[in-house]
Chain A
Amino acid sequence: MSNVYRVALAGNPNTGKSTLFNALTGLKQHTGNWAGKTVDMAEGTMQHKGETYKLIDLPGTYSLFSNSKDEEVARNYIVFEKPDITLVVLDATSLERNMNLALQVLEMTTNVIVCVNLIDEAAKRGISINEQQLTRRLGVPVVKISARNKTGFPLLFDTMDRLVKGIIQCQPALISYHTVIEEKISKIEPLVRPLIDDDLSARWVALRLLDGDESLLDEIKGRMAQKEEQTRGLKYPV
């Protein structure tokens, strides 16, 4: 029996995310070198070990604070559409800058694979990355690849396979904030928890409420109203 798993690709602009998407799906599309080139989400499928993976190429963003339409689209997909895997693509040549996005994704969802791309470029510049150490510290699998040359793909496929089959369990390492913020979180989080679905991270929602992200609140409320309407619609069919 074959399942269809949804895999969302997130990453900063210029990390080779679209190159990876093309390489995996074989769907040819133009890859750009500036922010927001991929605003409409491109989709494609790939097969591995009899399973079908539907890949969704999210807009390239530097953060997921919903400052822009792109960031909101990417964030909403990860949080509300709940893909089976979120593949965070990082640029090995500027890992520190890219890591922010990975950390943000880890706060939002559990099933994450961190893809360190452009590993050939990094090697040329004498940058080496200890992915085992990184895996331990992040609590999710880290795979080194080069999307251009298709190196590291077998391991990536294998990791995806084991993740969707539950052989690997992700335990994302959460950031601990300054004590002042942590105290505030612990005040808000219990209030949020009863209001939201189990698969939405209460800690993350609490954080967003604290930093005043009202667009997220509207999104949650809108989705709940929709759900309510649907259940009501079932009870009293027109």
Chain B
Amino acid sequence: MDLSIQFDKVLNEARDISSAEIRDEIVQSLHEKSKELCARTVTFSKTKEDVRTEKLDAVLTSPIFGFPIMLIMLGAVFYLTIAGANVPSSMLGEFFSWIEGYLTIFFQWMGAPEWLYGILVLGLFRGTTWVISVMLPPMAIFFPVFALLENFGYLPRVAFNMDRIFKQVGAHGKQSLTMAMGFGCNAAAMMSTRIIESPRERMLAILTNNFVPCNGRWGTLIILSSLFMAAGFTGGWASLVTTAVIVGIVLFGIIVTFFVSFVLSKTALKGVPTHYTLELPPYRKPKVWDTVIRASLTRSISVLMRAVKIAAPAAMLTWILANVFIGDTSILMYFVNFLDPFGKMLGMDGYILAAFLIGLPANEIVLPVLLMGYLSTGSLTEVDNLMDLKQIFLDHGWTWLTALNMMLFSLLHFPCGTTLVNIYKETKSKKWTFMSFIIPTVIAIAVTFILAQAAWLFGWV
């Protein structure tokens, strides 16, 4: 303790003789020394590459072309993902339903009881294989393509472009980097917000990260938009329209991010954005093969494992909930019926809200849970291609509005359980963890409610 007092004495002494510019002077000396050292030890014989970097930056970060290029890049990545994932998705689906046929024969041959067959085949097997066949192909395309852009050095340029807008809404430019991380996983993005120095701006980044869809939600967005949005189009056009819808959804999420950041920085989190220097690394030729392998193997597989680990028990649980009856109504149906009036008001239904609630542990399982719910009450169609899937939705009264509102709700609703846990770990505040749950939820409810009411009022549906 005594030492602590002595330390404070020295600090006061230091304060007395120090000056406001001393940090700048120290940094200045460091730069001068670096410069001097390098001038003596580094020699350049050609500068072709540097010129190329400058030329590329002039285009990619230009105030005029920067944003259109970003949109095109985003669109291209989604187009590749959507157009490329269809065929392998159906193939995987057919493959699993072929296996399911044999499993059924096997269970019949064993004389297994109905409930065991229900839990293991209709619940566990169908639920998990559905996650695999629907999610694996888009991820196996999306992640490597995204990683290639990252390795090439384009993502820091995105941050540079976005910086201008973030400053406008009172947030930090680095937030676009944490958002880019959120496209992969919101839970991981919570950790990445540590790069933002100011606690105020960091809180903004944490509270709004949820508005960029994580890969757990890409599946929902891609599937629903390709089933319902491009109905009147064929071939390449269909994928193009689907892409446009997804780009629109992502942009809407970004606009909500700006809006929430703006409102918060004028109210609960008042302040002026801090300055920082964003270093733009040189462009690098990505090691294509390495990146593709690493991104598809490590990222896709690990995300998939997480999905399967949570989807398997959730699928079983849903099947059980749907098949345990109290009176003549299953537990699931009590839950669904309870939520249904509210769901209808939002242009969705009780099943969808139930799926979102059961899907709190991980967004990956929302669609599978929904499907399980529908299948256990409706016609037991085999889902071996995407059109069967659409038929199940149509049988339950879906329209494009249902699909769009489910996509919007998926984009805007509360973060998944892991993300909430990480927010609490990072902020150590129950209040802010609760805020990060309630703000998106209220926005999701408001947006879907307004859209549904407007659609009915104007007779769009």
Using a CB–CB distance below 8 Å, which chain A residues touch chain B?
A: 12-14, 28-30, 32-37, 39-40, 62-63, 65, 67-70, 93-97, 99-100, 103-104, 121, 124-131, 133-134, 137-138, 148, 175, 177-178, 181, 184, 187-188, 191-192, 195, 206-207, 209-212, 214, 217, 220-221, 224-225, 228
User: What class of interface size applies to chain B in its complex with A?
Assistant: 35 or more
Give the distance to chain A from B274, nearest Cβ to Cβ, in Å. 10
Q: Tell which of B30, B46, B174 touches A126, judged by Cβ atoms closer than 8 Å.
A: B46
A-B contact count (CB 8 A): 170
Using a CB–CB distance below 8 Å, which chain B residues touch chain A?
A: 1, 3-4, 6-7, 10-11, 13-15, 17-18, 22-23, 25-27, 29-31, 33-35, 37-38, 40-50, 150-151, 153, 155-156, 159, 174, 177, 180-181, 191-192, 194-197, 277, 279, 281-282, 284, 287, 294, 298-299
Contacts of B181 in A (CB 8 A): 34, 37
Contacts of A99 in B (CB 8 A): 33-34, 37-38
Complex Cα–Cα for A186 and B11 (A) = 14
Contact B197 A68 (CB under 8 A): yes
Interface class of chain B by DSSP: helix
Contacts of B23 in A (CB 8 A): 65, 211-212
Complex Cα–Cα for A39 and B180 (A) = 16
Give the distance to chain B from A14, nearest Cβ to Cβ, in Å. 4
Contact A212 B18 (CB under 8 A): yes
Contacts of A94 in B (CB 8 A): 282
Complex Cα–Cα for A65 and B299 (A) = 34
Contact B279 A62 (CB under 8 A): yes
Contact B18 A211 (CB under 8 A): yes
CB-based nearest A residue for B38: A96
Contact B159 A34 (CB under 8 A): yes
Contact B192 A37 (CB under 8 A): yes
CB-based nearest A residue for B152: A33
Contact B25 A178 (CB under 8 A): yes
Contacts of A36 in B (CB 8 A): 177, 192, 194-195
Contact A209 B42 (CB under 8 A): no
Contact B194 A39 (CB under 8 A): yes
Contacts of B174 in A (CB 8 A): 35
Contact A127 B43 (CB under 8 A): yes
Complex Cα–Cα for A131 and B43 (A) = 12
Complex Cα–Cα for A13 and B6 (A) = 38
Contact A127 B298 (CB under 8 A): no
Are A100 and B31 also in contact (CB < 8 A) when A34-B159, A181-B26 are? yes
Contact A30 B298 (CB under 8 A): yes
